[in-house]
Structure 1
Amino acid sequence: MKAGFTPLTRALLCLSLSWSAFAEAPVVDDSENFALMENNQAAYARPLTAAADDDTADVTETPIARDTGADALTRDNAALINKIQGLQQELQELRGQLEVQAHDLKRLQEQQLSFYKDLDARLRMPSASTSPTDTSPKAAALPEADRAKIAALPAVAPTGVMTEQQSYLAAYELVKNRRFTEALNAMQAFTERYPSGEYTANAEYWLGELYLVKEAWPQAMQHFETVITRFPTSSKVSASMLKMGYALAASGDKAHARERLQQVVSQFPDTQAALLASERLETLKAG
């Protein structure tokens, strides 16, 4: 008799089979899942690594960018230094030019002072062409007819300005060559021909100087006074005042001489004329 299975037995049998199936199944899905996770991690790791690479690139590029900025700053600093050095060189050149000009100016002032002192020394030297009693301006002057001939000489240049200039320079050349009598006549003729010319004040001044050489004090003072009163803007005014003081002192009028010399110091400070006036004032005080 074939044994039959009761409903309870069949249920227990199915349950037992079910448990044995679960117990014998391999863990393949879990392994594959781990592998898949590893692949996924690798897949995610690549972008992260690329991003990390990018970050690393950024990190490595940042110093490069900073280096470029530093190079630009270095170039700017170098350009600024070159510009400063160029300005310093220009300043040095300008200082050199100023020193040269100052030297030239000092040399001219020394020449002018030497010239004044030379003329002053002539006043104290006895003149070979005149005697102490030869103080009359007529003794050194040409006759009126001769002076008229000189004044009537035709002009060499086509313009009056050049004629005046040439005439004055010719007369002044006689002064420089110490041909005092001829120079006096030439300067006198010049002032008669050009009473209000461009060089008339200079000619009047040299007439005063020439009469000082001849110790003709009144005539010298007359010409110096002409420069002071008629040509107040002339460059010869300070020298005329100075020599007026010399003439007054030489003539014995020391009080008025001191007044004139002090006037030079007051009106023309820091000039060669003021320096000479101060020296003569000291001499007058000592005397």
Structure 2
Amino acid sequence: MKKTVLLVAMFAAGQAFAAAPVEDLGGGGSLDERIAKLERILKAKQQTDFDMQRRLDALQQEVLDLRGLTEQQNYQINQMLERQRKLYEEIASLSSGAANVQPSAQAPVSASGGASAPAVSGGELAVEASLNETASYEQAINLVLKERKYDEAIAAFRSFVKKYPGSNYTDNANYWLGQLLYNKNELDEARGAFTVVVEKYPDSSKRGDSLVKLGLIAEKKGDTVGAKNLYRKVIKEYANSAAARIAQQQLNAL
């Protein structure tokens, strides 16, 4: 009877654990030796499952990062188009103003007797500042995506968020900064950057992803309770999103 049960168990194990390394259970050997072989198969299958789950988690994180990159690029394109539209409007306004100037009009004379420089309108200054802001942000992005100079990119994003704290790009810049620091395992600084996104930009498209990253940082630091709370927050506030799916998977693994 025992031999029959053992053979059935071994047959079931062979069917269920086909992906695991296989050992030959046939041939001679005592019952204990065969049981030992079966235990080795079970352990191998468990290790295979663990490795597969780890690879799956890594792939899911890559998908999340790529999704964030796509959203980032779409946002950047929309912002550039909006700035281009405003620039065209400003140029048209300046051209219209120039057409109304009489040809015989002379430049205003300054108190020192020389012709004073023409005044620069607030619109011109705003357009120039907007172009500088966009160029600085694009430079930082290119250091990551094109040149792969991550240390320089960190410095560029830090400079950007300091110089343009009110920019439409600041939330994304902080997220990029946090991601780069997280990849270098500089967890405290990464947490600071992600926290800025979460607390200061409640409507940011990167807020949910930042909460997930804060949860991952909490996990790495051994704060299981904090990580669970962050994952639950993502699931509650960003249901059916990619960030929520990652948060649920991480929560299930804790």
Larger Rg: 1
Q: TM-score if structure 2 supplies the norm length? A: 0.50
Q: TM-score if structure 1 supplies the norm length? A: 0.44
